[in-house]
């Protein structure tokens, strides 16, 4: 385990199992459709790479980058840093996210997708931190509930570090206070 990690919350094996479950559910829910799967950079990358293996549909994959976070707090001012590569007019969009925390980011991104002409927009998040929610928005597909602690790994960072850890763990307080 990395020296800055207090404890491991979710192992790599558990995440892979969950991706199989969620992928199968999405495959069922979108039968006959070709959803446009959008990963939010950078946190969703490992989760996106894992879950798409288990979505048995002809999907399109794209990434979008928005900025709203610095340090451990989201400021709600969501700006597009890297836009989608293609038009999503008439598409069923699935947003892949690492964590829903206050909900500010996803709320704005969901609106952006509808403004771009998406037919439907659903959210699939690896983690959900319900306790911190400020906006009434929920992911349609959730991997794991996490407590109100700052978590890193499997894509999640603190100041761009720890994204490469193969598990989700709680960061030691002394590393971010
Ligand atoms: P929200 O707008 O507050 O829901 O923030 C969502 C974004 O904040 C996520 O995509 C993460 O990048 C980041 N975030 C929220 N909580 C954590 C955490 O515990 N660890 C790392 N990043 C987090």
Q: Which residue has the higher pLDDT, 39 or 67?
A: 39
Full strand arrangement of the beta sheet holding 120-128: 73-82, 60-70, 36-41, 92-100, 120-128, 141-145
Pocket of ligand 1, beta carbon within 6 A? 43, 68-69, 74, 97-105, 129, 150-152, 156
Compute the mean pLDDT over every residue in the chain, rounded to the nearest whole number: 94
* Å from CA of 100 to ligand 1 middle: 6
What are residue 40's DSSP bridge partners?
Answer: 64
Q: Is pLDDT at 76 greater than 80 in this prediction? A: no
Catalytic residue annotation: 101
Dist. CA 40–CA 63, nearest whole Å: 6
Task: Identify the residue whose C-alpha is closest to ligand 1 atom 12.
Answer: 43
- What pLDDT digit, counting tens, does each position of 125-177 carry? 999 999 888 898 999 999 999 999 999 999 999 999 999 999 999 999 999 87
Dist. CA 115–CA 60, nearest whole Å: 19
The strand pair at 151-152 and 141-145 is best described as unpaired
* Å from CA of 99 to ligand 1 middle: 6
Determine the average pLDDT of the residues in 74-95.
Answer: 90
pLDDT at 71: 54
> If pLDDT is split at 50, 70 and 90, which confidence band does 90 have?
very high
* Å from CA of 90 to ligand 1 middle: 29
Q: Which of 38, 44, 99, 103 to mutate to test the pocket of ligand 1 (most atoms within 8 A of CB)?
A: 99
pLDDT at 132: 84
Dist. CA 135–CA 132, nearest whole Å: 9
């Amino acid at each position: 385990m990395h020296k800055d990690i207090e404890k491991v919350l979710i192992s790599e094996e558990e995440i892979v199992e969950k991706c199989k479950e969620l992928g199968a559910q999405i495959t069922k829910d979108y039968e006959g459709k070709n959803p446009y799967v959008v990963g939010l950079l950078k946190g969703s990358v490992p989760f996106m790479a894992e879950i798409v293996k288990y979505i048995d549909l002809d999907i399109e994959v794209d990434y979008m980058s928005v900025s709203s976070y610095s340090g451990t707090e989201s400021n709600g001012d969501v700006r597009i840093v890297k836009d989608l590569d293609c038009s999503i007019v008439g598409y069923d969009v699935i947003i892949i996210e690492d964590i829903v925390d206050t909900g500010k980011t996803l709320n704005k991104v969901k609106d952006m997708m509808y403004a771009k002409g998406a037919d439907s927009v659903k959210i699939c998040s690896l983690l959900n931190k319900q306790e911190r929610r400020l906006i009434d928005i929920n992911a349609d597909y959730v991997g794991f509930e996490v407590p109100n602690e700052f978590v890193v790994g499997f894509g999640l960072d603190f100041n761009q570090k720890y994204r490469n850890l193969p598990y989700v763990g709680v960061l030691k307080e002394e590393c971010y206070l």
